């Protein structure tokens, strides 16, 4: 199919882009186009205007320091994945990004676009939730920072207003004594996950140094929105605790029962891998 007709704007300043969005309720931001263009072609989205942000300056950065990793709205998945500094400061980014789609899609698709697209089958919204990161947002009304816990409203729906542009995202650094791991099951590497699970564990200090004092899990493709479950108090049966809070569904790719089974298989593996990661970092 072909998209419904739309106007196309390619502003060269952020103010121009924000004004264009504010003027037209039906306008939509175009970033890498890897999710939006298929939706246009299938006529599942029919914006009156596309505001292409690819010519905006100063949004292509991937920077990392002791606080964390900051990613501009025009940084492509491939650029984030290639950043050794980002992988060092927050290793879960590279662990998860290597599972995001295929190289050609990662070369165009933006990490911030993936966050705003808010797909519970996508890796990076879950990673932002698990790490308790945030997104910086601009509109003609001003700027605000949206914590990950307040970003995801429903299936493919973020809490951003129609006139807002996400200008960047921040992922906190991995703390001393913490470890992370990610695994997913997909039909082919690069396909959307049937189920993906990330773990974020914290080891204690002093006499508690080898004990997990906090353990949280992030889930892909087993709920309507990116979901995080704290299993610190359920380390004897973490998958069971998680499944009580998740809502795996049947679709053409897998049954709910199979997805629940994959949760039970993956949870112990990622918890063990994240604990090993924390111990290795400390050694
Ligand atoms: P676009 O497609 O340009 O936009 C997506 C949505 O976000 C639109 O509604 C747009 O208006 C909005 N938007 C984008 N950027 C901004 C912004 N800065 N401010 C406000 N709104 C914005 N993703 C995965 O996570 N895992 C996968 O396994 C995976 N597999 C894929 C396989 C295929 C075949 C394809 C085509 C895509 C796949 N993707 C996958 C999606 C890919 O990661 C996209 O890059 C990503 O979802 C959206 O980023 P984008 O820059 O392309 O956004």
Closest Cα to atom 17, ligand 1: which residue? 166
Atom of ligand 1 nearest to the CA of 38: 36
Question: Is residue 144 over pLDDT 80?
Answer: yes
Torsion angles phi and psi, residue 63, rounded to 5: -120, 150
126 lines ligand 1 (CB under 6 A): no
Kindly state the average pLDDT of the residues 157-170. Answer: 98
Write out pLDDT tens, residues 205-256: 887 778 999 999 999 999 999 999 999 999 999 999 999 999 899 999 999 9
Q: How big is the CA angle at 185 (ends 106 and 216), to the nearest 5 degrees?
A: 90
91 lines ligand 1 (CB under 6 A): no
Q: Residues of CATH 3.30.465.10 domain(s) within the chain? A: 62-172
Question: Is residue 46 over pLDDT 90?
Answer: yes
Write out pLDDT tens, residues 258-275: 999 999 999 999 999 999
* pLDDT band of 18, cuts 50, 70, 90: very high
Q: Residues of CATH 3.30.390.50 domain(s) within the chain? A: 178-282
Superfamily the domain 178-282 falls into: CO dehydrogenase flavoprotein, C-terminal domain (3.30.390.50)
pLDDT at 244: 96
pLDDT at 283: 78
Residue 179 Cα distances to 3, 45, 126, 220, angstroms: 45, 40, 16, 19
pLDDT at 210: 85
Question: How many CB atoms sit inside 10 A of residue 149's CB?
Answer: 12
Kindly state the average pLDDT of the residues 3-25. Answer: 97
221 lines ligand 1 (CB under 6 A): no
* pLDDT band of 282, cuts 50, 70, 90: confident
For the domain made up of 62-172, the CATH class stated in words is alpha beta
pTM for the full predicted model:
0.97
pLDDT at 80: 98
35 lines ligand 1 (CB under 6 A): yes
Question: Is residue 54 over pLDDT 90?
Answer: yes
Give the residue, 150 or 283, on which the prediction is more confident: 150
Q: Please tell me what DSSP assigns to residue 119.
A: -
Atom of ligand 1 nearest to the CA of 192: 28
Rounded to whole angstroms, the Cα distance separating 115 from 147 reads 12
Torsion sign (Cα): 30, 36, 41, 45: negative
Rounded to whole angstroms, the Cα distance separating 92 from 184 reads 13
151 lines ligand 1 (CB under 6 A): no
Kindly state the average pLDDT of the residues 91-98. Answer: 98
7-52 CATH choice from 3.40.50.720, 3.30.420.40, 3.30.43.10, 3.40.605.10: 3.30.43.10
Question: Is residue 126 over pLDDT 80?
Answer: yes
Q: Which of 147, 12, 9, 119 is nearest to 74 (CA)?
A: 12
28 lines ligand 1 (CB under 6 A): yes
Lowest mean pLDDT among 39-48, 170-179, 207-216: 207-216
Question: Is residue 140 over pLDDT 90?
Answer: yes
Question: In this prediction, what percent of the chain has a pLDDT beyond 70?
Answer: 100
Q: Which neighbouring-strand residues pair with 214?
A: 202
pLDDT at 1: 77
């Amino acid at each position: 199919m072909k998209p419904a007709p739309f106007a196309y704007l390619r502003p060269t300043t952020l103010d121009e882009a924000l004004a264009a969005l504010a003027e037209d309720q039906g306008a939509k931001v175009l970033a890498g186009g890897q999710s939006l263009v298929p939706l246009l072609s299938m006529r599942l989205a029919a914006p009156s205007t596309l505001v292409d942000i690819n010519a905006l300056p100063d949004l292509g950065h991937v920077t990392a320091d002791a606080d964390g990793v900051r990613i501009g709205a025009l940084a492509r998945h491939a650029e984030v994945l290639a950043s050794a500094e980002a992988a060092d400061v927050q290793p879960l980014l590279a662990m998860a990004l290597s599972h995001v789609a295929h190289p050609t899609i990662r070369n165009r698709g933006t990490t911030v676009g993936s966050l705003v697209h808010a797909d519970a089958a996508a890796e990076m919204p879950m990673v932002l939730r698990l790490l308790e990161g945030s997104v910086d947002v601009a509109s003609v009304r001003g700027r605000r920072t949206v914590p990950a816990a307040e970003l995801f409203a429903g299936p493919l729906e973020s809490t951003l207003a129609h006139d807002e542009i996400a200008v960047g995202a921040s992922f906190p650094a991995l703390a001393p004594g913490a470890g992370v791991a990610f695994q997913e099951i997909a039909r082919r590497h690069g396909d959307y996950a049937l189920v993906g699970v990330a773990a974020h564990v914290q080891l204690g200090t002093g006499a508690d140094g080898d004990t997990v004092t906090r353990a949280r899990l992030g889930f892909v493709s087993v709920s309507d929105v990116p979901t995080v479950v704290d299993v610190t108090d359920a380390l004897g049966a973490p998958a069971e605790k998680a499944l009580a809070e998740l809502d795996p569904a049947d679709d053409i790719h897998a049954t709910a029962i199979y997805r629940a089974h994959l949760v039970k298989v993956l949870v112990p593996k990622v918890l063990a891998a994240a604990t090993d990661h924390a111990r290795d970092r400390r050694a």
